[in-house]
A and B are shown apart, each in its own frame.
Chain A
Amino acid sequence: MLNQVDLTLSLDKETYKRELLRYQLALHDLGYQAYVQQRPVVMVFEGWDAAGKGGAIKRVTERLDPRGYMVHSIAAPKGDDAEHHYLWRFWRRLPEAGQIAIFDRSWYGRVMVERVEGFCTQAEWQRAYREINAFERQLVDYGTVLFKFWMHISKDEQLRRFEERAADPIKQWKLTDEDWRNREKWDLYYDAVEEMLLKTSTHLAPWTIVEGNDKHYARVKVLRTLVNDLSKALDYNPFRKRK
């Protein structure tokens, strides 16, 4: 599946600026509409290190009402989170009706990093696909509008971005030894991602693969997907002509 992704897709700067703003304003409108209709919205961002998850989230939230969303950065569980079932820490962070929750990394860690690094047993990540599907089904049954983005870049592009970060004093902190170690296991992660996309892309909760080599294209695609799918789910057109 991943080898069919067209990573040459790009957007010129002018179009990017114009489209970004247009979709961001529409998203603001839709965020309010979700509040009015009392629907929870959940956005999951997964992807390679340096693929642009953080950057996409930043552009998504830029023009949203800050009272209407929360961003949860997910890492290895600590404290109470580590003392419960692995899904507990996500149930805890779900948005109430009318609110938006954005997950920077998510429950999919179980079938990716925990699988590849051996932080859980094989039995555990193998049954995780079913548990995740059941979990998401319950969210969607309640009325949650659920988005799952896989931010995809090529291995070469990742190297280029790592080296760029290493050289930039403002962004150096973003690059850690762990990133380099994960990169060594690229093929293992690739297989894990393929299996994840196959087993957890359901009719009610499909994955959206974002061609991430060009950041402009990626961000606009994320916003466009959000605006289009939210409009459909909420039956509301943010671009309608206002009197």
Chain B
Amino acid sequence: MYLAVLTIRFLPEETRKMLEQVDLTRKLSKAVYRAWMPRLRDQLYTLQKASWDARIPVVILFEGWDAAGKGTTIQALTRRLDPRGFKLYPIREARTYEKKHPWLWRFWLKIPAYGEWAIFDRSWYGRVLVERVEHITPKRLWRQAYDDIVDFERALADDGALIFKFFLHISKKEQKRRFKKLLKDPLTAWHVAPEDWEHHKKYEKYALATEEMLARTETEWGPWTLVPATNRRYTRTLVFYTILKKLAARLQSMDALPRQWTPLPDLDTVVSLPPQEALEFIGVETAPEEAAPPPKAESTPDGAAPPKAESAPQEAVPAENSPQTE
């Protein structure tokens, strides 16, 4: 394991341009998204229950540019999960009492219990991203952080945890476009803080830090998923798809895959096909009604009817027309 980190000590030319190789034009059509998403959500709910039964701890972390869509992607993810089965941790700079401990202490406290999901909006990678670029942490310490992180993730993975690491990538231009759009509407302007513009100016510095992070912390137990985040439909679909695929594979190896599981159609194929063919490939004839009821809420205490159809249009509207973007 240490060999892997040692050989990446000097970044070769090819890896240094990982971010540039991301195809930021990737997108998913509205029709396919609307048809496929409900099914993906159902499958996610099913596998969440299965991972609880199988006592698999799951770590999902989101890194990425400001305004890339981490927050809204997490919202989409957690909206249909059983709230008892996951914990969501928004991570910012360490607080005073957290600085009185080794830097990973505050993350060790948040690791998931067996069967639980721990979702991180920003994570320990802040040490080698914002803390590096803004000089919050001395060089010696963030240099060492790569090894600390690899050790940490390996300890979790050896104990059975599934680790998902998503980096939501957008171009500098796209970031500027989104900031401007957010600022236009007073209801969303709060999303853009003054320091976000400062970070925007340092885009190249952050890109370099990101490249090094991706190179030094890419492991077989903790692989990175570089998400082209320009198109929010594609972003969410890729995130759901990645989680479902790996979780299903793990459950299958444990003979714990639920009986009603249907295999996932290949995402790259779906994206490459024109909408009508993509829909056939997935296995739906037409997009379902807007008002399709969400999956049965088994957790309603008094056996009341599942939430009615009006909740579905409510979420369709934000997905489409909200000024609050990705």
Contact assessment for B108 and A91 in the assembled complex, using a CB-CB cutoff below 8 Å: yes
Residues of chain A within 8 A (CB-CB) of B186 are: none
Please indicate the chain A residues that have their CB under 8 angstroms from the CB of B104 in the complex. 138
Partner of B156, one of A38, A85, A97, A139: A85
Contact B108–A88 (Cβ < 8 Å):
yes
Number of residues on chain B facing chain A (CB within 8 A)? 23
Residue from B97, B101, B103, B155 in contact with A87 in the complex, judged by beta carbons closer than 8 Å: B155
Q: Which of B101, B103, B111, B144 has the most CB of A within 10 A?
A: B101
A105 to chain B, nearest CB (A): 20
Known: A80-B113, A141-B144. A134 touches B100 (CB 8 A): no
Residue from the set B111, B115, B159 with the largest chain A CB neighbour count within 10 Å: B159
Is the beta-carbon distance between A138 and B148 smaller than 8 angstroms?
A: yes
Does B14 interact with chain A (Cβ within 8 Å)?
Answer: no
CB distance B148 to A96 under 8 Å?
no
Q: Once the chains bind, are A83 and B102 in contact (CB under 8 Å)?
A: no
Determine the distance from Cα of A80 to Cα of B103 in the docked complex, in whole angstroms.
Answer: 23
Interface flag for A98 (CB, 8 Å) = yes
A84-B102 CB under 8 A given contacts A91-B109, A96-B97, A131-B155: no
Please determine whether A84 and B114 come into contact, CB atoms closer than 8 angstroms: yes
Chain A window 81-124, contacts with chain B (Cβ cutoff 8 Å), 1 for yes, 0 for no: 00111111001101011100000000000000000000000000
A91-B105 contact given A96-B97, A96-B100, CB 8 Å threshold? yes
With beta carbons under 8 angstroms apart, the residue of A86, A97, A127 that contacts B101 is A97
* B158 part of interface (Cβ distance < 8 Å): yes
Are A87 and B108 interface neighbours, CB within 8 A?
Answer: yes
Asked if B100 and A85 sit within 8 Å, CB to CB, the answer is no
Q: Is B23 an interface residue (CB 8 A)?
A: no
Please name all residues of chain B whose beta carbon is closer than 8 Å to the beta carbon of A96 when the two chains form the complex.
Answer: 97, 100-101
User: Once bound together, how far apart are the Cα atoms of A88 and B215, in whole Å?
Assistant: 28
Residue of B whose beta carbon sits closest to that of A83: B113
Residues of A within 8 A of B115 (CB): 83
Chain B residue numbers with a CB within 8 Å of A86 are 159
Give Cα A110 to B238, complex, Å. Answer: 39
B151 at the interface (CB under 8 A from A): yes
Tell me which of B101, B103, B148, B151 contacts A94 (CB under 8 A): B101
In the assembled complex, A142 has its CB within 8 A of some CB on chain B: yes
**Contact partner of A134 among B111, B113, B114, B155, CB < 8 A?**
B155
Closest to A131 in B: B155
Inter-chain contacts of B111 with A (CB < 8 A): 84-85, 88
Closest A residue to B155 by beta carbon equals: A131
Of chain B, the residue at the smallest CB distance from A85 is: B159
**A127 x B105 contact (CB < 8 A):** no
Interface string of B78-106 (1 = CB under 8 A from A): 00000000000000000001001111110
**Bound Cα distance A167, B176 (Å):** 80
What are 15 sample pairs from A and B whose C-beta atoms fall under 8 A apart? A83-B114, A83-B115, A84-B57, A84-B111, A85-B111, A85-B159, A87-B108, A88-B111, A91-B108, A92-B108, A92-B109, A94-B102, A96-B101, A97-B100, A142-B101
Which residues of B come within 8 Å of A, CB atoms? 57, 97, 100-105, 108-109, 111-115, 144, 148, 151, 155-156, 158-159, 161
- Shortest 5 CB-CB distances between A and B: which pairs? A91-B108, A96-B100, A83-B113, A142-B102, A97-B100
Known: A96-B101, A138-B102, A139-B102. 16 other contacts (CB 8 A): A40-B101, A80-B113, A83-B114, A84-B57, A84-B112, A85-B159, A87-B155, A88-B108, A88-B111, A92-B108, A97-B101, A127-B158, A134-B155, A138-B148, A141-B144, A142-B103
